[in-house]
């Protein structure tokens, strides 16, 4: 009956797997132990799925905050005529890469579903992460040039 342990999520098995196996070796198998293990499997998966959804909500809130900061900075520097050409180019690269990252994320969300969209396992997720990295680097370069 130790195979029931493999029905738990991988993170749970890494953290608690050895302990539960030791505990099961000390106990005699009964119907109630099997029911308890099955209830634990359902509970562990429920917690795992909730953590993934909370992570997704945090990521979407982070994207919204970054978008609002970008809009504020663009509106602030748009009226300024003293912006040099290099600052404009880095700002355009930053905004384009951010737009591409968000667009790829939305496509990945509709194509793969909510949980897979927030993982790094899909090709679209890796592309979106790459564009977010490019956005971060070019936005930092813009802020350095602006000061």
DSSP code at position 70: H
Query: For residues 17 and 8, is the Cβ–Cβ distance under 8 A?
Result: yes
Q: Would you say the pTM of this structure is higher than 0.75?
A: no
Give, for all 147 residues of the chain, the pLDDT tens digit. 667 777 788 877 888 888 888 887 887 777 777 788 778 888 887 777 666 656 666 666 677 677 777 767 666 665 555 557 777 777 788 888 888 888 888 888 778 877 777 777 788 888 888 888 888 888 888 777 777
| Domain locations in the chain as residue ranges | 1-58, 80-147
Token reading at 112: 């793969």
CA dist., res. 96 & res. 126, Å (int)? 17
For residue 63, give every residue at least 6 positions away whose Cβ sits within 8 Å of its Cβ, in sequence order, or none. 102, 105
């Amino acid at each position: 009956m130790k195979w029931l342990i493999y029905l738990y999520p991988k993170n749970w098995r890494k953290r608690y797997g050895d302990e539960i196996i030791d505990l099961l070796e000390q106990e005699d198998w009964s119907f109630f132990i099997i029911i308890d293990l099955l209830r634990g499997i359902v509970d562990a998966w429920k917690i795992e799925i909730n953590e993934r959804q909370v992570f997704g909500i945090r990521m979407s809130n982070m994207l919204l905050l970054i978008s609002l900061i970008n809009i504020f900075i663009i509106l602030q520097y748009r009226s300024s005529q003293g912006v040099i050409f290099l600052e404009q180019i880095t700002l355009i690269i930053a905004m384009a890469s951010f737009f591409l990252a968000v667009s790829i994320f939305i496509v990945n969300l509709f194509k793969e579903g909510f949980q897979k969209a927030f993982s790094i396992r899909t090709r679209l997720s890796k592309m979106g992460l790459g564009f977010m990295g490019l956005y971060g680097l070019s936005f930092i370069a813009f802020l350095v040039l602006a000061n």
